[in-house]
Amino acid sequence: MRVLCTGGAGYVGSACLRYLLGEGHDVFAYDDLSEGNRLAVPEHEDRLLLGDIRDKDKLARVLTERRIDVVMHFAAVASVPDSIRDPALYWDVNLVGTKSVLDAMRGAGVTKIVLSSTAATYGFSEASSLTESSPQVPVTPYGTSKMACEALLREYALAYGFGCASMRYFNASGADLDGAHGEDRRHESHLIPLVLAAALGVRDEVLIFGDDWTTPDGTCVRDYVHVRDIAQAHALAMGALTPGSAEAYNIGSGVGLSVREIVA
């Protein structure tokens, strides 16, 4: 299939792009490089297309000219603390940007989309595990904006016959199995790369915030899922898209690890 990955030069987006290329698909990245890395896209001279997802007309031209079959939509702003400081940006890029993508698809006759969503749409739950039918009660502008994107997909599926999938995942982690690509953000805030940077001497220390959580060792427990597993899940969802239907899938390892366990 011919696939366009919005945000395809970012960490998860580029991992999915490289995975799909390895599976024999013809894949392109559409990215403004505000956070993405040009070199994360193989054959970037031909496969990396520069642009903003809010530029609907340009995006529609790309979809048409590249004869795209499916869009994988990763482009977004995705920091929970930043969303609290600047919710307007999150609604603009995440929701307005997603509507722009969907409208560009309508204009180009493309009706299949896989959305990179988030477990943050569930909010803070007391449940030991979450299912796709768990209540979505987001508590941050980031989670709320992503839940709104999912609602938009459902409405486009019902009204225009789109086939949609929303992928709700937890903490993406890891690198390509050959070690060529991994997390490489300009401003890193994720635990695993911070721990590795401290081990390499790039950072002086790793700070642990909180030691009195109701967990076995008192530190926060999260579900870390390997980026290649996320890529495989997106590929499987792409193959299962059904016109007029909007599905949602959780992606996780099913095993929680605490901050202290990750450090160890």
Amino acid at 42: P
CB 181 within 8 A of CB 15: yes
142 flagged as catalytic: yes
Q: Which of 11, 142, 156, 224 is catalytic?
A: 142
User: What is the bridge-based pairing of β-strands 221-226 and 256-258?
Assistant: antiparallel
Q: What is the DSSP letter of 117?
A: -
Orientation angle between helical segments 11-22 and 227-239, nearest 10 degrees = 60
Residue 4 to residue 112: CA distance in whole angstroms? 11
What SS3 state is found at 13? helix
The two tokens of residue 63 are 């979809």
Angstrom distances, CA of residue 178 to CA of 139, 145, 225:
38, 35, 18
Query: Within 10 Å of residue 124's Cβ, how many Cβ atoms?
Result: 10
261 φ, ψ to 5°? -65, -40
Angstrom distances, CA of residue 144 to CA of 13, 28, 106:
21, 29, 25
CB 162 within 8 A of CB 182: no
* Active site positions, annotated: 142
